[in-house]
Structure 1
Amino acid sequence: MNRLSDQQRQSLRDFPQAKNAEKFALFTTLCAAGSAGWAQDVATETSESEEVSSLPTINVESTHPAAPAPRPVPRPVPAPEPEPVIVPEPEPEPLVIDDSTYRPQNLSVSKYTQPLLDVPQTVQVITEDLIEDQGATTLREALRNVSGISLQAGEGGQPAGDNLSIRGFSARTDFFIDGIRDFGAYTRDPFNLEQIEVAKGPASANAGRGSTGGSINLVSKKARLNDFIHSDLSIGSDDLHRATLDINQALPGIDGAAVRLNVMGHEAGVPGRDFVENSRWGVAGTLGFGLGETTYVPGGGKSGKQGSWITTPSDTRLNVSFFHLEEDNVPDYGIPWVPDNAVDPRLTPYINQAPPISYDKFYGSLTRDFEDTETTIGTVEFEHDINDSVTFRNRTRIGQTERLSLTTAPRFVTGSDPALIRRSDWKDRDEKNTIFANQSDFLMSFNTGAVHHDALLGFEYIKEDNERFRRATSNPGIDTDFFNPNPNDPIYGTFKRTGAATYADSTSTSVYLFDTAEITDWLELSGGLRHERFELDYMSVDTAGAASFLSRVDDMTSGRASVVVKPQENGSVYFGYGTSFNPSGEGLALSDGGRGGSTYQTDPEKSETLELGTKWDLFDNRLSLTGALFETNKTNARTVDPADPDRVAVLEGVQRVHGFEFGLAGEITPWWSVYASYTHLDSEVLSSLDPTQIGNELPNTPQNSFSLWTQVDLPNGLFVGGGPVFVDSRYNSVTNLREAPSYCIWDAAVGYEVNENLTLRVNLRNLEDEDYIGRVGGGHFIPGEGRSVMFTASLEF
C-alpha cells in the first residue's frame, strides 16, 4: 500500500491586551501594514528572480583521434539509418498529496501507524479550511461540526467553553495539543491550529487515563519551507473586531530552516446575550530545522527539459514552538432552571424547565464578575531517522495556565414572589496548572517473513501540578428582579484569599507499544498496549491553616485490538475492541466525602468499547465516507449509596451507550465541498446504588445529533456555503428531571475571490435567530448564540 512517510509530509508542509477600541484599532492597522510590507518584499524578490538568465549551453568535443574511415562495401540499395531514440531524463517522482480542503489523509498523532482510511476507529478531522470557511473563532464553534459531542455549562467556576462530553461521557480532561495532554482551564482559540482531530471511543491506550468517550487533539501550525503571509481582518455584529496574522519565512543561508509567526486579537460581545464580553489576544511562534534539503537538478541535453528545484526530507529535524494566550472576559453563567420550590405563578407552570423569558437577560454583576486567564506553552520536538526503517522522536513540553475569576451563579431566592435572583451564590477560581511532559518514541518499519509491520514503542513521563486558592468577597451581593435584572447594581468590596487552599501533585509514567501487521494486501491486524502508573498527592488547607493529606497510586493497563479488511484499495472494513480507565484523581483532586462521595479509596473505573465500521475514499480519493456501529460499557462506574452517611464511592454502577454514526468529508466535485456528521446515541444507567437512577439516560447525551456544511464554488470567483446543526433533547443530570429541548439552527456564508491576494467573505449564523439552550448545567443553562453576521477580508501573499 502506498503511504506518505512523515518525512514526505513534513517536506510539504508583548502584544498588549486589547482592552479598548483604540488599542484594537492599532493592532488591526499593524496587521494590515505588515501584510502590505511583506507583499512588496515578495513582489520585489519575484521580479529579481525573473531576471536570472538561463544556463549557457556547453559543447563538449572529443579528445580522441578520429578513427580511419572503413572500406566502403558496395550495396544495391543502402538502407536508411533509423531515427535516434531520445530518452528523456527521469524527472523527480512527485509527492502525491491530498488537496481536498475538508478531507485529510493522515493524522498527526504518531500512535496511529496507518493512514486515516485504515485507522480502525471513528476519527473526525476538522481542517483549517473548514474552520476558515465557517468563520469559527473558538474551539467550541469548530466542534459543532462533530456530532456526538455535547457542550456543558461551567460548574464550580470551571470554564464553560471547553467543557464537553463525547458519546455520553465527560471529556473535560481529554484535550491534547500535538499529542500531549492540555489540562489548562481556558477557552481555546483556533488561530494557531492546522486541524482538530476528534477520536471517538476509548483511547486510553493512545492517550492515557480517561478518554472513555473519546479525545480531542489540537494540531498546531508549524514552520514550512514555502514563504507566505496570510491575514484575516474581521468585523461583525455585537461589536466583533478580530484580526489574525500568519507569516512563514524560510531562513536565508540555512538550508531546510524556516520560522512561522501567528498573532491574534479578538474583542466581541455574544450575540443574543446582553453585557457578556470576550476579549483575548495570542501569539504563537515556531522555528523549524531540517525541514528538507533543496537541490537543483539541471535540465538541457537531448530531452530539452528545464532544470528544477526538488526538496528531500532531512534525516534530522528539530522544531521549537512557543504559545501564549490571554483572556479578559465578562463571564456568563446564563439563566437558572425554574426550581421545584418556585411560588411565583408566572413560573410554577415551568418547574424544572427553562423559564418563559427572553434569553438575552444577564444575571451577573458588571461591578464584580470577571474572568482572566493566561496560558503559556513551550515545546521542543526532535526527530532523527536512524536508518530507513527506524525513526526516533522526542517531544518535551513545559506549560502553565493561570486563571482568576469570579462569576455569579444565578439562583432563585427560595419562596420569593415576585421571583428574585440572589447573587450570593458566586463561584471563584484562583488556580494555576503546570505541566512538564516528555515523550520518547521509536517508529519502526520491518518484516517478519512475508508480514510487514509498522510499529511504535514509546515512553512517556508527565508531571502535572495544580494549586487552587479559595477567595471570599466582603459583599455577598444584592438580590435582583428575575424578570428585570439590573447588572449595574453596585456590588463593591474586597475579593481576597481566605487562607484555604488545595495542592495537587501528580506524576504519570507510561510505556506503550503499537503494531500494525499487514498480513496480505487486503488484511491488517493492529493492536496496542499501554501500562500507566498514576500517582497523586493531594493536600487541603483550611482557613485556620490545618492541613489534611490524601493520596492514591493506580497501575492501569489499557489496550486496543482490531482487524481491518480491505475489499479494495480505497476502502476498509474493521472490527475493533478498546479499553479505558478513569482513576479517581484524573481531575487532579481527591475527596474524603461530600456531594461527590469519598473517592480517595476508590479504584479506577473501566470501560470497554466494541466498534464495527467501514471507511471509503470516493471520487478519486476526494471524498471520505465513514460509518460505524459501537457500544461502550462502563462496567464499574462510581456510585454512592444515598443511605451511606460516609458517602463512600464504590464501583458497583453500570452504564452503557450504544449507537451508530455516519460521516462525509471532502469534495463531491472539484467545485463542491461537503462536511457532514450524524450520530445516534442510546444511553442508559443499568445499575446504581441509587435506585432512582436505574433506567435513566446519561446526562448531556442527545439521542440524535447532526451537522452539515456544504460549499460551492461559482464562476467568477464567487462561492456560497451553509448548512444546519441539529441537536436532540438532552438532560442536564442523571436524575433526568431537567431537559433541554431539541434545536436546529442554520448558518450560511457567501464570498468573492477578488484576486489571488484578496478574498472577501460574509458569515451568517443562526439565520432564524432561534432561542435555544447551547450548554446545560446543574442549576443553570447557557443560551446558544443569536443571529450574527461577520465580514472578513482575507489577504494572502
Structure 2
Amino acid sequence: MSYITSRKHPRASSAAAATLVAIALPVAAQNTPANTAGTLREVQVQSTTETEYKPERVSSPKFTQPLVDTPQTVTVIRKEVLRDQAATTLTDALRNTPGITLQMGENGNTATGDAVYLRGFDAQGSIFVDGIRDVGTITRDMFNIEQVEVVKGPAGTDIGRGSPNGYINLQSKVPFAENDANATVSLGSGSLKRSTLDLNRKLNESGSAAFRLNLMAQDSGVVDRDEVKNKGWGFAPSLALGLGTPTRTYFSYLHMNRRNRPDGGFVTTRLPGWSVTSLGGTQIPAVDESNYYGWASDHDDVDSDMFTARIEHDLAPGVTVRNITRWGRTKQDLVLTAPFSSTVIAPNLADPSTWLVRLLPQGKLQRNEILANQTNITADLKLGGLEHSFSGGLEFAREKQHNGTMAANINASNGRLVGTAYQAYTSLYAPDMGRPLVTVTPNGASTNGEVTTTAAYLFDTVKLSPAWQVNAGVRWEHYRTEYLSLPATGTTTAPVNLSDSGDLFTGKVGAVYKPAANGSIYVAYATSARPPGSDFALSGTAGNSNSPNMDPQKARSAEIGTKWDVLDKRLALTAALFRTDNTNEVGTPDPVTGAVDQYGKTRVQGVEFSAIGQITPAWQLIAGLANTSAKVIEGSRTATTTGAAVRYSPKLTATLWSTYKLPFGLTVGGGVRYVDTQARSTNAAAVAFVPEVPSYTVLDAMLGYEINKNFSLQLNVFNLADKFYIARINNAGNRATIGTPRSAVVTAKLQF
C-alpha cells in the first residue's frame, strides 16, 4: 500500500492534485455545516506504485498518438531505467534496446563519441536532442536527459536526411511547477568519482514560473585500462514561464566540458582468427588488455554549448502551436595513438620481449555548429464526420563543420625506417609511455562543409471508426551542401570546391486495427533519403556515394506488428516483422560519357519483440529481442561483397533488465545482455585477419536500499561473470575496445 505524495514529475503532480481536489470537495460538503468554518478530517488516498519504466508517448509532436497506437517500432528508455542501471552515457542507455552495436572507425581514423550502428547502418549522424539534429562526434552524458527515444525504420518524414534505418532522440529535462531537488555521489571501480545535482524551484506562488538547474562533475579512469581517463563537467540551467497557462516559454542552456585521455584500443592478438605472417602463425603469448599504447600527451578535449528557446501557445482547445530555436556549437581537439596489430616486427621470434607493434598517432581538430528553427502546429479536429489529429510544420537549419587536418611528426629520432618512410613502434608486451614523443600537429590542410535545409511536413491520423485508424505523413526538404578542401601548407595540390543541392520527398503510411482499447495490430510503409554530403563531405570521385553527380540513397521499409498494454495497462508488449531495402549505394561512371550507373542494395529484415513496464506494482522490467538478417543484395561490381553480411550487424541481440522492490525499502535488480557474432568485413570472400567479433553474454546486478524518504544507497555490479568481450572494433580488425570487466559503483542519493 502506498499513498499519494509529492510527485517528481509535472504530469504526475497534476494528476495527484486533481485527484485530491476531486475527493476533498465532496468530503467538505458532507462534513462542514452551512455557514460554519470547519476542519476537514485527514483523507488518505491509496494508489498503485507509479509505472516508472513504461512510457505513454514520445516527446515529438509529430507523433500524434500514444505508442500503443503508433504503427512503428519505437523504444523509449526513461531516466528511471538509467538511474537503476547507473547509466551515465548514451552508449549505456542504448544497451536497453536490441539491434544496436558500436563502431570504432576506419583503419587509421578512430571514430569518437557515440558511433552507433542501428539495424546495420551508421546512425552517428542521426542523433537528435529535442527533435533537432545534434552536432559533434562526442560522448553524450545523460545528466540532463529525461528519456532516450529510439525510432527504428526509415524516418525521413520525421527528420529529413539521415540513417536508412532510424534515429535516436534525446529529450532534455525542463522546469516544472514544483519544488524538488536531488543530488547523487558515485564512487566505483576504475577510480570513478561522479556527482550530479538536479534542482527545480517554483519562482512564484502559482507555479507559473520555474527554474531548473542540472549539474554534473566526473573524474575517473577506465576499469582495466592503464592511463585512460574520463574527466569533465556539465552545466544546464533552464527557465520556464507561463506554466499552466495557454502560453508557455522555455529557455535552456547546456555546456559540457571534457578533458579525457582517450583509449586507442588494445591489440587484437587474442581474438579467434588473428594471424600475422611475420610471426609464423597465430599462437603467441597473450597481450595484457590493460596495456596503453599511447603517450601521456594524448588527449580528447571537448567543449559543447547549446542554447534553446521554445514557445508553446494553445490557440484553442486541442490546437497548439510550438516554435523552437536552437544554436549549438561543439569543439573537439583530439590526439590519439592507435596500435596496429597487423604490423608486428619480431627481431627475435624466440624472444617475445623484442617484438614491436606499429603505432599510428592521429588527431582531429573539429568544430561543429548548428542554427535551427522549427515551427509546428497540432490540431485535433472533426472533418467530414471523422476525427483527425494533424501535425504540420516548417523547419530551417544551417549546419557547419570545420576539420583541421593533423599530421604525426615521425622521424629518425622517434621512429624507425620501414621501406622509405618512418613509422612509430613500441613494445608489444610492455609499451613505454616515456619513449620518444611523436607530436601530432596541424599541417595546414582543412575541410569545411555546410548543409542548409528547408523543410515542410504534414502528418494526419484519421479515426475511421473505434476499431480502425490510418496514419500518414509527407515531407518535402530542400538541401544545399557546400564543401571546400584546402591542401596542406607547402604542397601544390589544388583546393577542392564542390556543391550539391536538390529536393527530397519522403512519406509514411500505416493502418491500425484495434481489436480492443488496449491493443493494436498494424501495417506500415515508410521511406527515407540520404543525399551526397549528408555528413558535410563531398567527393570529386565519380561513383563515390558522396559525389555530387550521385542521386540520394533511398530506403524503403515495410513493417507489420502488434502492440498491447496489458496488466491494467502497466506493461507494454510489442512484436514486429520488418524489412528495409537501401538502394543507390554505389555507382560506376561510363568511361566515355562520364554518366554514372547507380546501383547497390542492402537489405535488413527480421523480427523484434519488447516488453516495458510493470508485472506487479513492485516488479518492473525493460526487455527486447531482435533476430535480424543484414545482407548486401547487390554490392560493388569490382569486389566480392554481393551476398555478404553487413558488418557490425549481429543476427541475434537481446537485452533484459528488471527490478523488484521489497516492502522494507530494499530493491533488487539485474539484467542480461546478449550480442551475437558480428562480421568484421562486408566481404563474401574469406577474411583471414580477425574475420569476426565473437558473441558475448553479460550479466549485471543492482541492490538499492531506501534508508529514509530523503536518503538512499545503490550498488551496481557490472559484468558479474567477468566475461571478456569486445565492445567495438575498427574496420581492419587491428585494435578494439574491451567491454567493461567486472566492476562496481556505489551511489548515494539525497532527496531534499
* Same topology, TM > 0.5: yes
User: What is the deviation of 1:359?
Assistant: 2.4
> Does 2:514 correspond to 1:566?
yes
Look up the match of 1:420: 356
After superposition, give the CA deviation of every residue in 1:439-463 in whole Å (9 maximum; x if it has no partner): 0111111111221000011000000
1:761-785, CA deviations, whole angstroms, 9 ceiling, x for partnerless residues? Answer: 1000011111111112213321111
Deviation track 1:664-704 (CA, whole Å, cap 9, x = no partner) reads 11110001111111001111111122341111001110000
Q: Which moved more, 1:385-394 or 1:321-330?
A: 385-394
Deviations 1:609-657 (A, max 9, x none): 000011100111110100000000113222569x989999853111111
Supply the RMSD in Å over aligned alpha carbons. Answer: 2.8
Q: Deviations over 1:331-380 (max 9, x none)?
A: 11213446988234475359xxxx943322222222x3111111100000
1-structure distance, mates of 2:543, 2:693: 24
Q: Which residue is equivalent to 2:322?
A: 393
Q: 1:727-770, CA deviations, whole angstroms, 9 ceiling, x for partnerless residues?
A: 00001231263200000010000111101101101000011111
Structure 2 unpaired stretches of 5+: 1-8, 16-30, 350-354, 416-423
Q: Name the CA shift for 1:147/1:597 in 2 (closer, same or farther; >3 Å).
A: closer
Once the two structures are superposed, residues 450-508 of structure 1 have per-residue CA deviations (whole angstroms, 9 ceiling, x without a partner) of: 21000011000000011111123434655445541324133436543222111112101
The aligned residue for residue 775 of structure 1 is 728
Amino acid at match of 1:519: L
Structure 1 partner of 2:234:
282
Correspondence for 1:452 among 384, 387, 394: 387
Q: What's the counterpart of residue 343 of structure 1?
A: 277
- The 8 Å contact of residues 639 and 649 in structure 1, kept in 2 or not, is answered as yes
Change in CA separation of 1:11 and 1:463 when aligned onto 2, cut-off 3 Å: farther
State the 1:97 CA deviation: 12
1:363 to 293, 298, 307: 293
Residue 673 of structure 2 is aligned with which of 706, 714, 725? 725
Cα–Cα, structure 1 residues 327 and 647, in superposed 2: closer, same or farther, change >3 Å? farther
1:136-147 to 2 correspondences below 5 Å: 136-147=87-98
Matching residue within 484, 492, 507 for 2:452 = 507
> Is the CA contact 1:347–1:356 (under 8 Å) kept in the aligned structure 2?
no
In the TM superposition, what is the alpha-carbon distance from 1:578 to its structure 2 partner? 0.3
Counterpart AA for 1:761: Q
Distance 2:136 2:230 in 1: 18
C-alpha distance 673-58 of structure 1, shift in aligned 2 (>3 A): closer
Number of corresponding residues: 690
The aligned counterpart of 1:669 is: 616
Does the CA contact (< 8 Å) of 2:551 and 2:584 recur in 1? no
Instruction: Confirm whether residue 244 of structure 1 aligns to residue 196 of structure 2.
Output: yes
Assess, with a 3 A threshold, how the Cα gap between structure 1 residues 724 and 253 changes in structure 2: closer, same or farther: closer
Distance in structure 1 (CA, Å) of the matches to 2:596 and 2:268: 28
Match of 1:324 among 240, 247, 255: 255
1:135 aligns with 2:86: yes
Structure 1 segments unaligned to the other structure (5+ residues): 1-6, 14-55, 62-87, 293-313
Q: 1:374 to 1:644 in 2, by over 3 A?
A: farther
CA drift of 1:328 comes to: 0.8
Residue equivalent to 2:54: 103
1:31-110 → structure 2 map (5 Å cutoff): 99-110=50-61
Moved more, 536-545 or 752-761: 536-545
2:66 matched residue in structure 1: 115
Amino acid in the other structure paired with 2:150: V
Indicate how the Cα distance of structure 1 residues 282 and 347 shifts in structure 2: closer, same or farther if over 3 A, else same.
farther
Contact 1:359–1:771 under 8 Å retained in 2: no
Q: Aligned partners of 1:384, 1:682: CA distance in 2, in Å?
A: 46
Equivalent position amino acid for 1:416 in 2: I
Match of 2:23 in 1: none
* CA distance, structure 2, for counterparts of residue 648 and residue 376 of structure 1: 44
SS at match of 1:361: coil
The SS at the match of 1:217 is: strand
Structure 2 counterparts to residues 174-189 of structure 1, below 5 A: 174-189=126-141
CA contact (8 A) 1:480 1:486 kept: no
Report what 1:792 is aligned to: 747
Residue 443 of structure 1 corresponds to 378
Q: Deviations over 1:202-254 (max 9, x none)?
A: 11100110131111000100001111111110000110000000000000257
Cα drift, residue 9 of structure 1: 4.5
Looking at structure 2, the residues matched to 592 and 710 of structure 1 have their Cα atoms a distance apart, in angstroms, of 52
Residues of 2 paired with 1:596 and 1:734: CA distance? 17
Counterpart secondary structure, 1:244: strand
SS of structure 2 residue aligned to 1:130: helix
Native 8 Å contact 1:402 1:433 kept in 2: yes
1:124 aligns with 2:75: yes
Whether 2:663 is the aligned partner of 1:715: answer yes
- Check whether the contact 1:249–1:260 (CA below 8 A) recurs between aligned residues: yes
Matching residue of 1:655: 602
Structure 1 residues 584, 649: CA separation in 2 closer, same or farther (over 3 Å shift)?
Answer: farther
Amino acid at match of 1:422: R
Whether the 8 Å contact between 1:203 and 1:580 is mirrored in structure 2 is yes
Larger Rg: 1
Decide which moves more: 203-212 or 646-655: 646-655
Counterpart CA distance in 2 for 1:11 and 1:157 is 49
Change (3 A) 1:595 1:206: closer
**Counterparts of 1:117 and 1:422, CA distance in 2:** 53
**Cα distance change of structure 1 residues 153 and 98 upon mapping to structure 2, 3 Å threshold:** farther
TM-score where L is the length of structure 1: 0.82
CA distance in 1, matches of 2:680, 2:553: 22
Query: Is the 2:275–2:281 contact (alpha carbons within 8 Å) kept by the matching residues of 1?
Result: no
TM-score calculated relative to the size of structure 2: 0.87
Question: In structure 2, what is the equivalent of residue 208 of structure 1?
Answer: 160
